[in-house]
Amino acid sequence: MTDMQYKVIVGLEIHVQLNTQSKLFCPCRLEFGAEPNSRTCPVCLGLPGSLPVINKKAVEYAALVGVALNCQIAQFTKWDRKSYYYPDLPKNYQISQYDLPLASGGFIEIPISNGKLKKVGITRAHLEEDAGKNLHSSANLTQVDLNRAGTPLLEIVTDPDMNSPQEVKTLAVELQQIVRYLGVSKADMQKGHMRFEPNVNLIVTKAGSQYKTPITEIKNLNSFRALEKSIDYEIKRQLDDFVRTGRVMKSGNKSTRGWDDVNETTVLQREKEEAHDYRYFPDPDLVPLRFTNAKLDEIRSCLCELPMAKKLRYIREYNLNEYDAGVLTTDRKTAEFYEQVLTYPKVDPKRACTVLTQEWMKLANKRRCRVYELGLTPKHLADESRMIDVGDITSTAAESVITTIVESGDAENKLFEKVAIDKNMLSKSDEGELEKLVDEALENNPQAVADVKSGGKKSKKARGFLMGQVMQKTKGSANPKVVSELLARKLR
């Protein structure tokens, strides 16, 4: 084993459910959890004589994702039938796109270690319809629910450019953020809005020669955890298989495996069918699509700043650390709320970030909502940040003021400063009063005073301790800036 090295190679297929009102080729509504087979019509039931009509919105959404992923959008794209004989798609074929996908040749940049970005190629992205669901409700009975049949899916295929389970997960998470930013999918994993199928193999170097292990495709993963874990497992399994059997990649020995979530293993499903097994051919019921330049321009104009670019800009322009910038840009509405706050004068971006990500998000979590759903406005955050910064209020007091405002149920009409005054929460800045307390603290703690004056190692800690004594006496309502200045003057 010692003279053996290996490199992991992963490409990813992702199915993203588009957030349209109706299905891809019929007017049936998309509704999760509706009564089985209640959202169906002759088209999605596959009844003879019914004719599909393309959902314009789905095409626009797909093209928008294509643009966001730096793809070429095809001037001419068509629809193909993919033979598919399962009960969950009764017309026995799936309408998909074969040789002329809507988008191709793009890339996505993902963050890797030490702040660098890695480019992962996007082979293609095409539209297709989802199948229904087989419900195995009792031991020997299978029922079919066709509510999902005909749901628009965007299938995105990456180049095999990823080299670790972590990179794959990073890409998947970023893609989830992108489609949410663009508003084209809710990307709710629990509802199966994103399904992953990684293609995994290894390049093993042994005694100076290189060997490629057979590719396996892991089917239908619907959580980031399963995605990462299954690739992890597959790497170990393939390495072990290579050592035991020496099996290498040949044409036709690609296989598909399923993920067993309970035992955390992959399980062989079948040797892969080739494309010709699907008997693709152009769908005679659907006209090909042509994008005019004007249409493409219109789609491009819907593009927004993407999460990764936003995050990097926050780090650069607002001097935030990577973690905070990531938290703020996780969803578009939070990011936009934060940007609104910064349009107010004299707001320190770092202070606003701290208040938002620590105090406000804690409040939102308690209420099981997002920060922008607390009823608070960007002005609240601007006022709070500014007042904390100039020392008019302590963070602790500010938190209590904001909580009061949220609990009032009428946040919109409550001014931060007014509530702070009404609650008597403004910091005590009366120097005379504070000086007395400072003197008291110095008198009662001669050791700390000596430590500060010695200027040694303990000096900083002792100063903090004295500060704490004064703050405690005022129950946190003293203006920390004033106290700190008083201490500095008296301990010179």
Footprint of Zn ion (CB under 5 A): 26, 28, 41, 43-44
Return d(Cα 50, Cα 26) in angstroms, integer.
Answer: 10
- Least separation in angstroms between residue 155's CB and Mn ion is 4
| CB of 155 or CB of 383, closer to Mn ion | 155
**Residue of 31, 299, 64 whose CA lies nearest to 150:** 31
- Least separation in angstroms between residue 221's CB and Mn ion is 14
| CB of 43 or CB of 71, closer to Zn ion | 43
Return d(Cα 26, Cα 43) in angstroms, integer.
Answer: 6
Number of residues that bind Mn ion (CB under 5 A): 1
| CB of 155 or CB of 283, closer to Mn ion | 155
The pairing of beta strand 216-218 with beta strand 194-206? antiparallel
| CB of 133 or CB of 428, closer to Mn ion | 133
Return d(Cα 403, Cα 27) in angstroms, integer.
Answer: 46
155 binds Mn ion (CB under 5 A): yes
Return d(Cα 221, Cα 226) in angstroms, integer.
Answer: 6
DSSP state string for 231-257 = HHHHHHHHHHHHHHH-----TT--EEE
- Stretch of residues binding Mn ion (CB under 5 A), selected from 152-160, 221-229, 235-243, 396-404: 152-160
- Least separation in angstroms between residue 44's CB and Zn ion is 3
Contact 273, 240 (CB under 8 A): no
Residue 67 CB contacts under 8 Å (≥ 6 apart), including other chains: 73, 103, 299, 300, 303
- Least separation in angstroms between residue 279's CB and Zn ion is 24
- Least separation in angstroms between residue 213's CB and Zn ion is 43
| CB of 23 or CB of 219, closer to Zn ion | 23
- Least separation in angstroms between residue 23's CB and Zn ion is 5
Residue 406 CB contacts under 8 Å (≥ 6 apart), including other chains: 363, 367, 374, 375, 376
Return d(Cα 378, Cα 364) in angstroms, integer.
Answer: 15
| CB of 22 or CB of 330, closer to Zn ion | 22
Across 60-165, the runs of DSSP E, i.e. the strands, are: 72-73, 76-77, 80-83, 93-96, 103-111, 117-129, 133-138, 141-145, 152-158
- Residue 131: contacted member of Zn ion, Mn ion, none (CB under 5 to 8 Å, by partner type): none
DSSP state string for 170-230 = HHHHHHHHHHHHTTS----GGGTSEEEEEEEEEEEEETTEEEEPPPEEE--B-SHHHHHHH
- Least separation in angstroms between residue 150's CB and Zn ion is 6
**Cα–Cα–Cα angle for 172, 178, 180, nearest 5°?**
105
Tokens coding 146: 């066709």
| CB of 24 or CB of 218, closer to Zn ion | 24
- Least separation in angstroms between residue 129's CB and Mn ion is 10
**Residue of 373, 379, 374, 480 whose CA lies nearest to 426:** 480
Q: Shortest Cβ contact with Mn ion: which residue?
A: 155
| CB of 44 or CB of 382, closer to Zn ion | 44
80 binds Mn ion (CB under 5 A): no
- Residue 28: contacted member of Mn ion, Zn ion, none (CB under 5 to 8 Å, by partner type): Zn ion
- Residue 174: contacted member of Mn ion, Zn ion, none (CB under 5 to 8 Å, by partner type): none
- Residue 41: contacted member of Zn ion, Mn ion, none (CB under 5 to 8 Å, by partner type): Zn ion
| CB of 16 or CB of 405, closer to Mn ion | 16
- Least separation in angstroms between residue 128's CB and Mn ion is 5
- Residue 155: contacted member of Mn ion, Zn ion, none (CB under 5 to 8 Å, by partner type): Mn ion
Window 91 to 120, contacts with Mn ion (CB under 5 A): none
Tokens coding 424: 């008597």
- Stretch of residues binding Mn ion (CB under 5 A), selected from 48-56, 150-158, 313-321, 430-438: 150-158
What residues make contact with Mn ion under the rule CB under 5 A?
Answer: 155
